[in-house]
Amino acid sequence: MDAHLQKRFWEVDVFRGIAIIFMVIYHVFFDLEYLGVYESGVRSGILLFIGRGAAITFIFLVGLSLTLSYSRARHFSDKGQNLFPKYLKRGAAIFSWGLVITLVTGFFLERGMVVFGILHLIGVSIVLAYPFLKYRVKPLSVGLAILFMGFFTQNAYVDFPWLLWLGLKPFGFYSLDYFPLIPWFGLVLLGVFAGNNLYLGYRRQFEIRDLEYNPLIRLLDYLGRKSLFIYIVHQPVIIGLLMIFGYIDLNFAGF
């Protein structure tokens, strides 16, 4: 086995670790405001920047990380082997977690059920991005086109909910976490473009100072590797802590 194929790129996990920290911070303040505990102003200013910045980083790194996974898989697979089932399985697993969040929020929340949130997006994007993983330029053009389409779908409304996943919303639609394919899949493809050019052949195409053994970097690296688990559990943990410290009670869920 080639030595360079045995290691991860710590900087990718570090950026993902920073993103998950920002996501947790944003959701703490969002929950406080949603539950009527504290008016934090999460829909504007620095908190909105933190929340959106974390989401953008996550989604971009989905595409970039797919290229790294694909590079390694191609190296170890037999020539001509179809790798699509691997990504279909991975995408379906993450999408299933999104469905769990849909069911939980639909049961506990009076308004704002998560219909097509970031986990739904990531699950579907892993599958849809597969045909682009072997290209260096095409993901850029298609990704920019999808992002551009978002200007038209942002304020587009229809009389039915069946195209929510695409970005067409029914009138009065509201969700606490909504990331439709248009425009967000475009950002995934930009990550694919970046990965296929910055890490061509699973090798860095740029120089970077080696900070891998810095304690802070190692912590962020660890959080980045566990980002999916943290994302799944962080909301129940936040709610639980708010209940323990007496900021909310079960009445907020309608019990």
Confidence tier at 251 by pLDDT (50, 70, 90): low
The residues facing 158 across adjacent strands are 170
Average per-residue pLDDT in the chain?
90
pLDDT per position as a tens digit, 78-132: 665 789 999 999 999 999 999 999 999 998 887 889 999 999 999 999 999 999 9
Residue 117 vs residues 136, 176, 205, 247: alpha-carbon distances, Å: 28, 8, 33, 27
CB of 27 closer than 8 Å to CB of 234 = yes
pLDDT per position as a tens digit, 19-54: 999 999 999 999 888 888 888 888 888 999 999 999
Give the CA dihedral 195, 150, 227, 30, nearest 10 degrees.
Answer: 150
Residue 171 vs residues 55, 112, 125: alpha-carbon distances, Å: 25, 14, 26
The SS3 of residue 170 is: strand
Surface-to-core class of residue 245, CB atoms within 10 Å of its CB (0-12 exposed, 13-18 middle, 19+ buried)? exposed
Compute the distance between CA of residue 233 and CA of residue 238 in angstroms, rounded to an integer. Answer: 9
